[in-house]
Amino acid sequence: MMFLSNLRLVDFRNFKELEVSFSSGINIFYGDNAQGKTNLLESIFYLSNLRSEKSAKDQQLIMHNKPMAYVKGVFDTRSGPVEREIILYTDRKKVVKEGGYQKNRWSELCEDISAVFFSPDDLLLIKGSPSIRRKYLDYLIYQLKPGYIRNLQAYYRIISQRNVLLKSLKKNPSLSDSIEPWDLQLCDAGSRILAERLNYIEVIDKYVHELFDSFCGGSPELNVKYFSSVRIGTRETIKRDFLIALKHAREKEISRAFTLNGPHRDDILFFLDGHDARFFGSQGQQRILALCLKMAQAGILANEKGESPILLLDDVMSELDFAKRRLILENNDSQVFITTADLNFIPDEILSRSNVYRVISGSLEW
Ligand SMILES: Nc1ncnc2c1ncn2[C@@H]1O[C@H](COP(=O)(O)OP(=O)(O)OP(=O)(O)O)[C@@H](O)[C@H]1O
Ligand SMILES: [Mg+2]
């Protein structure tokens, strides 16, 4: 089982200096508002996944008016302890080290280490814009297949160059043949992305369906559906239909100078007994659904990597009724970090087997 056994922070957000050890079970950070609970989870997430959940810029993680920040963790993994360090600078790229050696790519890092962040903002997965849902899906695929990101970046590069071309076609329609090679490239990269997303949507649907049932007792029935702007099929038919869709939309695209079809326009929707959860779900149902999406992410990672990710639960307990708080922590063998402003939100039998840390203005007491 993978877990974080030691964490050291220097000038990270409001933590001037911190050194702390953790055990593999449940760890609770409690304290008043604005003491550093979320910052601690963020540091663990950053160390594990090398990105910020809030997609904050690296520089924002550095304590105000400091030139750099340092984060170090020791992870217990099946291949022994792994020491990972990140040094962030205000004026240059971050440095990542493992076992004391600088690492420049993902593939060089221990792949057993990962974390999933649960935040009250997860509600945006249901209520926010389609791009939030696409990001959720893309990030999950990327965590399992690091090569996916290259294809995604290539796709977005083609889109932006193609959009520039569309704009110039508006002024100069005689050049319209010059778009064909772009269309072919777009369909090639786009069909790859779509096929991969459809693959994983099926897996996500299975997980979320089951999780939602366990929270809500089987009613209403939840379904996850991918809404594609290109007809869904095999990779080859997607590619063909994508090309046809582009031809059909050509005039409209030129007048708007924008690519109107493709995976960058798609969405993922959730249905409760067939009704769109955005419009017909209760607050509580939407919250639980968002939670299930993150739990599905953790479950899929655990299943495919053979190692459970660290779970970081930021303030999620207060939003659930008592029975559901327990459910989150049942049947999982992950290391868990929970933040709460009030220990009363934590069910007694969970509290009794947890390590409790108090967060007071950038320091920890235990
Ligand atoms: N780069 C930074 N440098 C210094 N302080 C920062 C930095 N970024 C955030 N802070 C401060 O860290 C403090 C703690 O923030 P954090 O979000 O961790 O609080 P919290 O304990 O989770 O509170 P809440 O219960 O309100 O969620 C805040 O006062 C915030 O302004
Ligand atoms: Mg917080």
Listed by start position, the domains of the chain span 3-114+309-365, 130-278
Q: Alpha-carbon torsion 124, 130, 135, 137, what sign? A: positive
Helical packing angle, 283-305 and 180-216, nearest 10° = 110
pLDDT confidence band for 90 (50 / 70 / 90):
very high
Which of 221, 210, 207, 205 shows the shortest CA–CA distance to 285? Answer: 221
C-alpha count within 13 angstroms, C-beta hemisphere, residue 268: 26
Rg of the chain, C-alpha, whole Å: 23
Q: Which two tokens stand for residue 119?
A: 């935040």
Q: What is the mean pLDDT of the chain?
A: 94
Which atom of ligand 1 is least distant from the CA of 42? 18
Pairing of strands 68-77, 267-272: unpaired
Which atom of ligand 1 is least distant from the CA of 359? 21
pLDDT confidence band for 328 (50 / 70 / 90):
confident
The answer to whether the CB of 34 is under 6 A from ligand 1 is yes
Q: Which two tokens stand for residue 87?
A: 């040094």
pLDDT at position 173, please?
82
pLDDT at position 55, please?
67
Please tell me the chain's helix, strand, coil percentages from 3-state DSSP, rounded to the nearest 5: 50, 25, 25
| 2 CA to centre of ligand 1 in angstroms | 28
- Residue 212: C-alpha distances to residues 91, 169, 216, 284, 346 (Å): 45, 49, 6, 12, 21
The answer to whether the CB of 11 is under 6 A from ligand 1 is no
CA–CA separation, 66 and 251 (whole Å): 53
CA–CA separation, 95 and 171 (whole Å): 46
CB 71 within 8 A of CB 47: yes
DSSP letter for 265, please: G
Q: What is the full DSSP assignment across 193-207?
A: HHHHHHHHHHHHHHH
CA–CA separation, 351 and 354 (whole Å): 5
| 320 CA to centre of ligand 2 in angstroms | 17
The answer to whether the CB of 13 is under 6 A from ligand 1 is yes
- Most ligand 1 atoms within 8 A of CB, residue of 14, 44, 361 to mutate: 14
| 141 CA to centre of ligand 1 in angstroms | 31
User: Which residue's CA lies nearest to atom 17 of ligand 1?
Assistant: 38
The amino acid at 7: L
| 269 CA to centre of ligand 2 in angstroms | 28
Q: Which two tokens stand for residue 174?
A: 């005689």
The amino acid at 308: S
CB 211 within 8 A of CB 292: yes
pLDDT at position 265, please?
95
CATH architecture, domain defined by 130-278: Up-down Bundle (1.20)
> Which residues crowd ion ligand 2, with CB under 5 Å?
37-38
The answer to whether the CB of 5 is under 6 A from ligand 1 is no
pLDDT at position 331, please?
66
CATH classification for the domain delimited by 3-114+309-365, as one of 3.40.30.10, 3.40.50.300, 3.40.50.150, 2.40.30.10 = 3.40.50.300
| 29 CA to centre of ligand 1 in angstroms | 14
The answer to whether the CB of 341 is under 6 A from ligand 1 is yes
User: pTM for this structure?
Assistant: 0.95
The answer to whether the CB of 68 is under 6 A from ligand 1 is no
Which of 347, 366, 339 shows the shortest CA–CA distance to 355? Answer: 366
The answer to whether the CB of 65 is under 6 A from ligand 1 is no
- Most ligand 1 atoms within 8 A of CB, residue of 10, 37, 39, 57 to mutate: 39
pLDDT per position as a tens digit, 242-281: 999 999 999 999 999 999 999 999 999 999 999 999 999 9
pLDDT per position as a tens digit, 270-316: 999 999 999 999 999 999 999 999 999 999 999 999 999 999 999 99
The answer to whether the CB of 73 is under 6 A from ligand 1 is no
Q: Find the mean pLDDT for residues 141-168.
A: 94
Q: Alpha-carbon torsion 309, 314, 318, 319, what sign? A: negative
The answer to whether the CB of 297 is under 6 A from ligand 1 is no
Percent of the chain scored above 70 by pLDDT? Answer: 99
The answer to whether the CB of 35 is under 6 A from ligand 1 is yes
Q: Find the mean pLDDT for residues 136-162.
A: 95
> For residue 85, which phi and psi values (nearest 5 degrees)?
-125, 145
CA–CA separation, 132 and 186 (whole Å): 22
pLDDT at position 302, please?
95
- Most ligand 1 atoms within 8 A of CB, residue of 38, 71, 342 to mutate: 38
Which atom of ligand 1 is least distant from the CA of 64? 3
Which of 171, 114, 130, 148 shows the shortest CA–CA distance to 307? Answer: 114
Which of 353, 343, 314 shows the shortest CA–CA distance to 53? Answer: 314
* Nearest-10 Cα torsion for 66, 10, 116, 35: -80
User: Which residue's CA lies nearest to atom 18 of ligand 1?
Assistant: 36
- How would you list the strands of the sheet with 267-272, edge to edge? 222-227, 267-272, 275-276
The amino acid at 351: L
**Nearest 5°: CA angle at 30, between 27 and 34?**
130
- Residue 264: C-alpha distances to residues 70, 93, 228, 237 (Å): 36, 29, 9, 18
The amino acid at 198: L
Percent of the chain scored above 90 by pLDDT? Answer: 87
